A and B are shown apart, each in its own frame.
Chain A
Amino acid sequence: MAKKTYDLLFKLLLIGDSGVGKTCILFRFSDNHFTTTFISTIGIDFKIKTVELRGKKIKLQIWDTAGQERFHTITTSYYRGAMGIMLVYDITNEKTFDDIVKWLRNIDEHANEDVEKMILGNKCDMEDKRVVSKERGEAIAREHGIRFMETSAKSNTNIERAFSELAEAILDKSAGREAEADLARIAVERRPSRARGRARRPACCS
């Protein structure tokens, strides 16, 4: 078996309307470059980047999705396995912001209940074309209890930060889960008669 080069594997997903810059954000994060010459994403794309957080090597497996409605059946099948979802809109395009609500509904329908979410208002370098104020972005995020950041893949603003904050939130949560799993195991051991049916399945499988 190949040597494990990481301690944890986090699966992340980028969603949002077409043209908001999902692919550019991911490209900036994984290759530290920016280019406007991207073809549109059809179906789903994939990148890997390993980051170090609190002394742990974390491999981020990031899925980049197509924005248009047609691709929803294919992309929603990835929601289930995702531990973190970045929901991107374009601060120079009102409709992409309005659609955030629609995307949030999608997450509710298809993703795990405890998935970590983050809203990103991208293209914040284009101040002269801004139509969605930062306050509105913050407000909608607050309303749904989600993290929020304005980013620019072009000027490399907050890209790294966004990914590490999301990863950190997942790390916090999984640490909490591990502790819970430990407690559950103790509980199972204490009540062998009731748990017998499921006792063969280890409660702490990772």
Chain B
Amino acid sequence: MSLHKARIKLFEGILEKDVIDIEQLQKLAFNGVPEEKGLRSLVWKILLHYIPTEKNSWDTTLCKKRQLYQQFIDEIIVSPGGPTDHPLNMSPDSSWSTYFKDNEVLLQIDKDVRRLCPDISFFQSATEFPCSEIVNSNGVKRLHKRVEQSVLKYSTLERRGLGVAKLSNEIRRTDISSGDYTPLNEGCEAHWEVVERMLFLYAKLNPGQGYVQGMNEIIGPIYHTFACDANMEFRKYAESDCFFCFTNLMSEIRDFFIRTLDETESGINYMMGKLSDCLKKQDKAVWDRLKKQELRPQYYSFRWLTLLLSQEFSLPDVERIWDSLFADARRFDFLIFICCAMILLVRDNILNGDFASNVKLLQNFPPMDVTLILNKALEISYT
């Protein structure tokens, strides 16, 4: 039996127990979860506390959550017939004012989901399981339609001698800004449209936080993993399952996305400080070098930490890294170690590079075997 097959067996062994030993699962998942048989998809759901460790309650939990998600879609997207009061109603809680505010959020989400993982075709392709109430609504319920309408159409009046005027109404339907992220026809929807819906619901349900750029990069890999699940039953509910896993993950990292919490112990500045301290302890020479060049941690580690490294590596590598992050019992200490490992692995370049080449290096981290990075991070965690 190959090593890989043996690993799959190990996972299956843990997962078939009536009550899953979470510590054992964390330990095993820390070294990577195989994609086969939908293992990664299932293990992430458990590690992110979406499905409980008691197996006999899986069905009821999943059923309840999936129904709840359907309810969110109905109440927030499908049922509302649009604003009801007068458009000039000045009261801040008028339905028009809410509608416009929502559209502002939606516009930002729309821009970002159309820029999600452009190097792979997955998000531009059609989902097997579109939301039927939405895709069969003559476009009325499609979220991106709402923000599309906010662009006023205009026509050009062309005068041609003797008072003959020609009104040309040509509006070319080529939206170059969206590249290939074009909406699909009635009855179909692309994966990016599904992501757009989840993010909009999240923003509506978490009004204190709303939508912040970068959340698309957090939800993307989770959704990709779930929507590629080998198990059809799970794949069918990729959207609702992903929504709750994303919500759970966000509850742990949302402070990174909130400006007013930057300085608190859960905020992003504190995390960047932790990374800087870790680097100082591990490799004073590199730390000194960056300090001397005034190459501040914000220049690179702000993105690394906020997005859990999702913009630094290719999607398969990101998913492998996230196995370890989700399995880390003291989330997200290991994230700091990985980031520190990345710097240590390019230390020679940093010691020889000037400011500009070092910023470039850290902002465009060179392709590297991800296990090398993870092993280095593990080494750091022992010191």
Q: Give A residues with C-beta under 8 Å from B.
A: 2, 18-19, 36-40, 42-46, 48, 61, 66-74, 77, 92-93, 123, 126, 128-129, 131, 154
Contact = CB atoms under 8 A, between A and B. Distances in A.
B101 interface: no
13 contacts: A18-B108, A18-B111, A37-B119, A37-B179, A39-B311, A40-B115, A42-B303, A43-B303, A44-B299, A67-B213, A73-B259, A74-B302, A92-B151
Contacts of A74: 298, 302
Contact of B354 (A2, A19, A69, A73): A2
Interface stretch (B170-178, B244-252, B274-282, B372-380): B170-178
Contact of B302 (A40, A44, A61, A128): A44
A46 B363 contact: yes
B188 to A, nearest CB: 22
A92 B174 CA distance: 14
B116 interface: yes
A123 B302 CA distance: 29
B101 to A, nearest CB: 13
B289 to A, nearest CB: 14
A123 B177 CA distance: 9
B102 interface: no
Contacts of A77: 298
Interface residues of B, number: 39
Interface string B118-159: 110000000000000000000000000000000110100000
B306 interface: yes
Interface in B294-321: 298-299, 302-303, 306-307, 311
A131 B151 contact: yes
A71 B176 contact: no
B359 interface: yes
A36 B179 contact: yes
A33 B72 CA distance: 43
B328 interface: no
Interface of B: 108, 111-112, 115-119, 151-152, 154, 170-172, 176-179, 212-214, 216-217, 257-259, 262, 298-299, 302-303, 306-307, 311, 354, 356, 359-360, 363
B268 to A, nearest CB: 8
A31 B159 CA distance: 42
Contacts of A123: 177
Contacts, number: 85
Which 6 pairs, one residue from A and one from B, show the smallest C-beta to C-beta distance?
Answer: A37-B118, A36-B179, A43-B302, A19-B111, A68-B213, A42-B303
Contacts of A92: 151
B213 A70 contact: yes
Contact of A70 (B154, B257, B356, B363): B257
A131 B354 contact: no
A197 B172 CA distance: 69
Contacts of B306: 42-43
A94 B50 CA distance: 42
B167 to A, nearest CB: 15
A30 to B, nearest CB: 11
A131 B151 CA distance: 8
Contact of B213 (A18, A61, A129): A18
Contacts of A48: 356, 360
Nearest to B355: A61
Contact of A39 (B115, B170, B177, B356): B115
Nearest to B104: A95
Contact of B356 (A43, A61, A68): A61
A46 B259 contact: no
Contacts of A37: 115, 118-119, 179
A46 B360 contact: yes
A129 B174 CA distance: 10
A42 B256 CA distance: 12
B214 A131 contact: no
Nearest to B311: A39
Most B CB atoms within 10 A — which of A44, A45, A70, A128?
A70
Most B CB atoms within 10 A — which of A40, A126, A128, A154?
A40
A42 B172 contact: no
Contacts of B216: 40
A131 B303 CA distance: 33
Given A18-B111, A44-B298, A68-B108, A36 B176 contact: yes
Contacts of A19: 111, 177
A38 B118 contact: yes
A131 B176 CA distance: 16
A163 to B, nearest CB: 17
Nearest to B118: A37
Contacts of B303: 42-43
Given A2-B354, A40-B213, A44-B302, A73 B262 contact: yes
